Structure 1
């Protein structure tokens, strides 16, 4: 356990980086990290570097795995299963696919046009931005392994339950007709060489970093302000776990924001440190990643309004329930 703890602190939480940035702030800038300004600078530099290092390594590894699962091959795998098992497989496959909801929608179209039930495709669509392998390590690096694993489990449950409900409601007629006529191309990624897969993985790192770097900087900046400038009493008065309205409020606030888990984690870190309820903060993260307004606008192009409203309602209710559960049982996770 001592070796695991050391690896966790040095490789995941990057204590060595924390100490280096502290030396930089105190020795070079002449500021104490206990002061609001020094603490903000330390928080910003440390979190930005840590997130980009973890993100690059994780995207590379996940993209290498993803290179074995082009849409047609994934469809063949999921086509072997029926019912809730198919929804579970779709949700699990969503963990090794794109990191934001907007980039998941083209794959959602591909799976649906390939003949998968829409409920299965929706399980994938919910899981893909909400839960991924990167989220496990990033959540563990900021909070702990208990919270990281619990978040992934409830995220997968939400994806499976949401897709299953949509399947039971028989809503196929509310998918735009062009989706069923849209043919996906199998790039035969199973024939790629190791060099091709490594090149693909590196390209994915560059592509995703280009898409998310600004959101990460904004998220870390907001987190630094919350962590060092906003009094704890203000945060707990609005977002404390004892406030019944904090979970739905956080979910609603998250929906108009377009970001991903990498941009929202620094905000979550700062809010929890200031006394916000764990479930409240996770509801905000889930609202941002699973129900962002830009992704809903894109989804509206491929499904009709009734199906879109049902999808948003199912996911929003699920997020709110999860938020209340985390607030109620947070003491078991710290």
Structure 2
């Protein structure tokens, strides 16, 4: 166990170092002068440019500059956004929870819908129900996330008027920030109209959550279906059939538990996919998450925000993925390499 933990820690550290080096190099890969990209000063006096060069250690070689960059990252001094003038650490802390919240709710919805439908399709293998659900899953898997989001806006917001068009909360309400997750903040707040604000925030969540949950729901459905089919064709299931158990008894007593255990790690891995799709949907729904914030930074050529935002997202994805993979190997060390690659 200790060897597995140490191996994964080394892998995570090495991966994050590579990501940080790439993030540091973006200042030189962006168009224009590296000093202007870092400081935002396009034209200044000679003394001002020399002072800025000393602050960013541009007189040193590339590796020395990277060493100082690492020191600034660990100290929490990630720079300042050109557009807002706020520290980037503050901006990341403000926008990242909104993206995580959206992804978490979408994962919950995907599991609630995808798991039962996957069990239904697997238990009715090669029947009409199975073919119908597979057709729906192929359709959901093929629809681009951004296109589905725009269809939902046109249908449910503009035509029917059932849900808000964009944003996280109506301008009429103001919720004190506690955790960064809007529903939790409303629940923990002392607002007089808490139920009304909660309903408004929930209505704002529905369309973006369903937009990014559709793709993952189809993935979970197909994974669950395959796991159920493999489980129902196993030797112990055939032995249960030989003992005279009915198909429903076999499914509830043996099938569900044995079919769901192999897919739980895969379900956890879907969070990273959801986070990526959430960053796309945020732009369409004007959701104040890190994806929308990064797009605005690109439009405004806010280079410090771009490189720190990309580093924050990639660090979250790598850390989460590596942690889940490590837990899988600790819980089931006999899992084959082929199975781990499939996950």
TM-score (norm 1): 0.31
TM-score (norm 2): 0.30
Q: Is the radius of gyration larger for structure 1 or structure 2? A: 2
